[in-house]
């Protein structure tokens, strides 16, 4: 009888222990499940971040390669601009020599003509001398025109060179460059000027708009034609409404 009671008690104790173990394991299952899910989510997030980092790194490398290529192109353009500027300067010097020679020849021809008149030469000889003088003047005018074109080209090349080298933040325009506004578009804030390439206007050159000696606005040239140019009004510099006939002058005149 005592043995039966002992066995019964042992069975009850085993059942109780098993029940307690089951309950403890049951309580731990949600925590373990949550821990597993959290670790899986963290792993997915880490893999996503790694993929994004690789993508950004590839883009950065691509941008770096493009920047290096752009820098090489810029240096090449700068070297070409310097070479062209040097060639234009040399050409301008040669034209100056030709101009001096032509001027001297013109003066000599005029002196000779006066001398021939004083000596009473024949009309045929005087006509010939007049033709020589006219030819010399025509050559001088052509040389002067070519020199003006070269000076404008030299100024444009020098401006580009200054930008490449970062020596000048502004486009310098001739100090005696003056013009007027022909057309005003108040909707888009741009104006048309009566001066252009022939007068020495350069792209991105800034000009002050004035009326009766008072500052009205500042404009920056965006497009240059032979004898016209188009400029936008600079934000923050519009002190009044520009109108047709307002005068313009360089904001940064060359010394």
Q: What's the pLDDT at 111?
A: 78
Helix (H) or strand (E) holding 250: strand 247-250
Q: What's the pLDDT at 136?
A: 65
Pairing of strands 179-185, 214-224: unpaired
Mean pLDDT: which of 30-39, 115-124, 226-235 is highest?
Answer: 226-235
Q: What's the pLDDT at 250?
A: 94
Contacts (Cβ under 8 Å, ≥6 apart) of 66: none
The percentage of the chain sitting over the pLDDT mark of 90, rounded to a whole number, equals 24
Share the mean pLDDT of the chain: 78
* DSSP state, residue 122: -
- The pLDDT tens digits of the residues spanning 193-251 come to 999 988 989 888 999 999 999 999 999 999 999 899 999 999 999 999 999 999 999 99
**Structural tokens at position 226:** 């032979």
Average pLDDT over residues 80-101: 80
- The pLDDT tens digits of the residues spanning 182-198 come to 999 988 899 999 999 88
- Give how far Cα 11 sits from Cα of 1, 3, 24, 37, 249, Å: 15, 12, 20, 39, 111
Q: What's the pLDDT at 211?
A: 95
**Structural tokens at position 252:** 């940064």
Average pLDDT over residues 15-35: 63
Instruction: Please tell me the distance from the alpha carbon of residue 184 to that of residue 240, in angstroms, as a whole number.
Output: 13
Q: What's the pLDDT at 82?
A: 76
Instruction: Please tell me the distance from the alpha carbon of residue 114 to that of residue 213, in angstroms, as a whole number.
Output: 50
Residue 31's pLDDT band (boundaries 50, 70, 90)? low
Residue with tokens 């934000």: 235
Q: What's the pLDDT at 28?
A: 62
Residue 253 and residue 173 in contact, taking contact as beta carbons nearer than 8 Å = yes
Residue with tokens 């000779």: 112
Q: What's the pLDDT at 239?
A: 92
Q: What's the pLDDT at 143?
A: 66
Residue 76's pLDDT band (boundaries 50, 70, 90)? confident
Contacts (Cβ under 8 Å, ≥6 apart) of 215: 208, 209, 239
- Give how far Cα 33 sits from Cα of 24, 30, 82, Å: 15, 5, 73
- The pLDDT tens digits of the residues spanning 141-163 come to 766 666 665 666 665 665 556 55
**Structural tokens at position 244:** 């047709």
Which residue has better confidence, 110 or 180? 180
Instruction: Please tell me the distance from the alpha carbon of residue 104 to that of residue 111, in angstroms, as a whole number.
Output: 10
Residue 150 and residue 91 in contact, taking contact as beta carbons nearer than 8 Å = yes
Pairing of strands 247-250, 206-211: antiparallel
């Amino acid at each position: 009888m005592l043995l039966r009671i002992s066995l019964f008690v042992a069975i009850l104790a085993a059942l109780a222990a098993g029940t307690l173990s089951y309950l403890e394991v049951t309580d731990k299952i949600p925590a373990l499940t949550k821990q597993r899910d959290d670790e899986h989510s963290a792993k997915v997030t880490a893999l996503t971040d790694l993929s994004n980092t690789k993508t950004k790194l590839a883009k950065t490398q691509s941008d770096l390669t493009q920047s290096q290529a752009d820098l090489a192109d810029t240096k090449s353009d700068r070297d070409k601009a310097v070479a062209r500027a040097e060639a234009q300067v040399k050409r301008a010097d040669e034209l100056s020599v030709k101009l001096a020679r032509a001027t001297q020849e013109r003066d000599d021809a005029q002196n000779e003509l006066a001398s021939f008149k004083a000596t009473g030469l024949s009309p045929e000889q005087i006509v010939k001398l007049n033709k020589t003088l006219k030819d010399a003047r025509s050559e001088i005018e052509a040389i002067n025109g070519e020199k003006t074109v070269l000076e404008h080209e030299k100024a444009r090349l020098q401006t580009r060179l200054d930008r490449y080298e970062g020596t000048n933040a502004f486009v310098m325009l001739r100090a005696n460059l003056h013009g007027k506004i022909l057309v005003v578009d108040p909707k888009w804030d741009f104006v048309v000027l009566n001066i252009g390439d022939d007068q020495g206007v350069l792209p991105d050159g800034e000009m002050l708009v004035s009326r009766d000696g008072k500052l009205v606005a500042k404009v920056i040239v965006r497009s240059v034609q032979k004898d016209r140019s188009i400029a936008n009004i600079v934000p923050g510099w519009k002190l009044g409404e520009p109108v047709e006939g307002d005068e313009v002058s360089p904001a940064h005149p060359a010394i």
